[in-house]
Amino acid sequence: MTQGSMKDLLKKSALTVLDRGGAVRGFVNIGREQPLPYRMKRHMEYHTHGSFWLMHYFSNPKTSHVLLDQLKLDARVIRCNVVKVTDTLSKMAETGHSM
């Protein structure tokens, strides 16, 4: 994935959350063109390398489903997942979660 393609994907994902009343806290680039743990097939192609990134955001559950559906349809994405950190912002502040 090229730098411009990655930038467009991150921007599109952030705008999806923002347009639905959510807030994006930040992005973390874990690695570009890293070897995948095993060969993966997606969109009728096999992939052995990929770029990994995290987007930390706050939103309602419906927004998460819309974001996942959008990412699954994107040809640049091999695999995506959403992990719930806490139920409320106040719990996050109490436990001291950070990115």
The predicted-structure confidence for 21-43, as pLDDT tens digits, reads as follows 999 999 999 988 899 999 999 98
- Sort residue 46 into left (φ over 0), alpha (ψ -120 to 50) or beta: beta
Q: What percent of the chain has pLDDT above 70?
A: 86
**pTM for the predicted model, two decimal places:** 0.79
Does the CA dihedral 33-37-43-46 come out positive or negative?
Answer: positive
Predicted confidence at residue 17, as pLDDT, reads 95
Integer-rounded Cα radius of gyration of the chain: 15
Does the CA dihedral 56-60-61-64 come out positive or negative?
Answer: negative
Residues 38-82 pLDDT 10s: 999 998 999 999 999 999 998 989 999 999 999 999 999 999 998
Give the residue ranges of DSSP H helices in the chain. Answer: 3-19, 61-73, 89-95
